[in-house]
Amino acid sequence: MTTLTTAQRQDCITKIKNFPSDLERIILNLTIDQLHLACPPEHPTLDGDWNIAQTIHHLADSHIHAYTRMKLILTEDRPTLKTWEQEAWAELDDAKQTDVTASLSILRGLHTRWSTLFTQLNPDDFARVGIHPEMGELSIDHFIETYARHGHGHIQQIQIALAI
């Protein structure tokens, strides 16, 4: 189970707070053609067939899931955390046809709420856990660390796609 130091946690929370602005700086002025460029795979075992727009929509979907899971962990005793089929979600029309500004709006609002939530937590709250059917116990610290990396990892994918 992930346990962060106070300094590590604060660094991760700052990254989460700043993520929407960091993403917007990269993608705000992209053309439709650029938004449809293929991204390289997130890791070698994945196909990597999402384009930049689908990746942006994936970020909104994924971060909504993480935020919801954290709220469940904070309000229930060891809740079971639902899995989701991110590849299937990326193939739905809302991820293939919607303007990315909708997902940017979601990310801006969500990350504002997320950052506010973090400042309200007691030290013991970071150790609270939910039970993931495939991964086992996941703490609030796990989500903080994971999502500090997740968004910026996808920013790197987008930057690579734009440089190819």
Residue type, 151: G
Per-position pLDDT tens, the chain of length 164: 789 999 999 999 999 999 999 999 999 999 999 999 999 886 554 555 799 999 999 999 999 999 999 999 999 999 999 999 999 999 899 988 889 999 999 999 999 999 999 999 999 999 999 999 999 999 999 999 999 999 999 999 999 999 97
Q: According to the model, what pLDDT value does residue 45 have? A: 44
CB 67 within 8 A of CB 110: yes
Q: 6-163 has which fold?
A: Four Helix Bundle (Hemerythrin (Met), subunit A) (1.20.120)
The total number of residues written for the chain in this structure: 164
For residue 160, give the nearest of 52, 4, 9 by alpha carbon. 52
In angstroms, the Cα distances linking 24 to 119, 151, 156 are 24, 12, 13
Bridge partner residues of 130 (DSSP): 138
Integer-rounded Cα Rg, in Å, for the chain is 16
Measured distance CA(164)–CA(151) in Å, rounded: 20
Q: Show the CA angle centred on residue 72, arms to residues 69 and 74, nearest 5°.
A: 110
Structural domain spans, the chain: 6-163
